Each structure stands twice: as C-alpha cells, then as structure tokens.
C-alpha cells in the first residue's frame, strides 16, 4: 500500500472513530443504552420528536420525552432494541408516518440475525406498502421488493419452526405478491410464487 493510500486509509478510520465518539457524547438515555446513536442521528428532527412523544406516552409518563436521548439522561429500558424499534414502527404506521415506519423496520432487518424477527419486519413492510400501492407507484415497487425478500426466508422459516417444534409462521407476501402479479399480468412469476407457497405449506423444499 502506497504512503498516500495508507494515509487516506488511516484518515478514514480516524474520522469514523471521531464520528462515533461525537455521537456517544451527543446522545444519552435509552437511545444510547440500546446503541442506537448512529441510527438516531440519521433521523429527521420531526421523526425524533415523534418517537420521543410516543415513548413517553408508552411508559405512562414515567420517562420524560427528553430523557429518551438527552446526553445527560441515564434513563434505561428493559425492552430489547427490536422491541423498541418495532413498537415505534407500529406507532408510526398508526399515525401514517410511513417513511419513519419504514426506516425503523429496515433498521431491525439490518441489525437482527433472528429469522423470525426479520420475517416480522418484512411482513410489516409488505402489508404497509400493499396498502399504499394503489395510490403510490413507489410503494408498488417496494411492495414487490419486500414481498420477494420475505418469500426468500420461507425455507429457513420452515426449518427453524421444525427445530423449535412450532407451526411455521404465515407469510402474507405469498397472497399479496400473487395479487400484484395477477393485476400486472405477470403469469410466470405468479406460477413461481404458487410453487414456493405449496412447498412451504407441505415442507417439500429441495
């Protein structure tokens, strides 16, 4: 590695560390406890305000809204980071704050290694964009994208459910994506989805 490249590489690492230290000092409370500093920083001010208000309400006023992320706050929660993110995503969808709901659900997907939590996040994304797709072309494409991603989890979901001795979870993406394919006249994909759906029901994955 040349001197210039080495210097640039070290500079990039240094800047990242400075950024992380800055974020650690910038936020406290539950946000810092759950290691959400960087994600929290990426949100719009109005989105952070929405979550502060909802969190305060959900704790029955035991935690003030500013305690959620104030640098001087030592407020903590017994909720997992996934419980926190998914709960706030539900509040956001109920309030029709769809962009925020999507950000929260994608953050769950990017953080988790749990196939069932990932499945739940994709399920919420598919249902949300299916609801919006008639009036929003962007949501149509997102609905298709997230539905395919959820369906890709089918073999692993079935396998893990069998290991745990539980019923495999329902995958709404099958029905929703079939409906989209019918409306758009995509016959080949419709048949592929039907095949995977039958394999999922019968547990006959190759």
Over the stretch 11-34, which tens digit does the pLDDT of each residue have?
555 555 555 555 556 899 999 999
Kindly report the pTM of this predicted structure: 0.84
Whether 104 is in a domain gets the answer no
Burial (0-12, 13-18, 19+ Cβ within 10 Å), 196: middle
**Does the pLDDT value for residue 60 go beyond 80?**
no
Classify the C-alpha dihedral 138-143-146-149 as positive or negative: negative
Q: Are residues 118 and 199 in the same domain?
A: yes
* One domain for residues 74 and 119: no
Residues 6+ apart with CB under 8 A from 157: 115, 116, 119, 168, 169, 171, 200
Range of the domain at 32: 1-79
User: What mean pLDDT is predicted for residues 89-103?
Assistant: 97
Domain end: 79, 104, 138, which one?
79
pLDDT tens-place string over residues 149-197: 999 999 999 999 999 999 999 999 999 999 998 888 877 788 889 999 9
Contact status, residue 150 vs residue 130, Cβ threshold 8 Å:
no
Residue 82 in contact with residue 34, Cβ under 8 Å?
no
Domain membership of residue 87 (yes or no) is no
What does the pLDDT read at residue 64? Answer: 83
Which pair of tokens denotes residue 189? 């994909």
Please check whether residue 187 lies inside any domain of the structure: yes
Asked whether residue 105 is domain-assigned, the answer is no
Number of other CB atoms surrounding residue 192 within 10 Å: 14
The H-or-E segment that residue 182 falls in is helix 172-184
Q: Distance between CA atoms of 194 and 57, rounded to whole angstroms?
A: 43
Supply the pLDDT for residue 130: 96
Q: Of 36, 64, 79, which closes a domain?
A: 79
User: 19, 54, 79 — which closes off a domain?
Assistant: 79
Domains in the chain, number: 2
Q: Say which residue the tokens 């070290």 belong to.
A: 10
3 and 70 in a single domain? The answer is yes
Under 8 Å between Cβ of 117 and 81: no
Confirm whether 184 is domain-assigned: yes
In a domain, residue 58? The reply is yes
């Amino acid at each position: 590695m040349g001197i210039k490249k080495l210097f640039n590489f070290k500079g990039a690492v240094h800047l990242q560390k400075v950024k992380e230290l800055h974020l650690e000092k910038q936020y406290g409370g539950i946000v810092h406890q759950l290691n959400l500093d960087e994600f929290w920083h990426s949100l719009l001010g109005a989105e952070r305000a929405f979550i502060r208000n909802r969190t305060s309400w959900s704790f029955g006023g035991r935690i003030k809204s500013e305690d959620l992320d104030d640098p001087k706050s030592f407020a903590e929660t017994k909720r997992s980071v996934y419980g926190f993110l998914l709960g706030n995503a539900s509040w956001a969808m109920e309030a029709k704050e769809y962009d925020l709901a999507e950000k929260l659900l994608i953050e769950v997907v990017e953080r988790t290694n749990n196939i069932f939590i990932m499945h739940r996040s994709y399920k919420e994304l598919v249902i949300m964009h299916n609801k919006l797709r008639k009036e929003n072309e962007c949501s149509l494409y997102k609905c298709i994208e997230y539905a395919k991603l959820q369906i890709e989890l089918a073999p692993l979901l079935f396998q893990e459910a069998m290991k745990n001795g539980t019923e495999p979870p329902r995958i709404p993406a099958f029905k929703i994506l079939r409906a989209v394919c019918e409306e758009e006249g995509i016959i080949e994909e419709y048949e592929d989805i039907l095949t995977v759906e039958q394999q999922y029901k019968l547990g006959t994955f190759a």
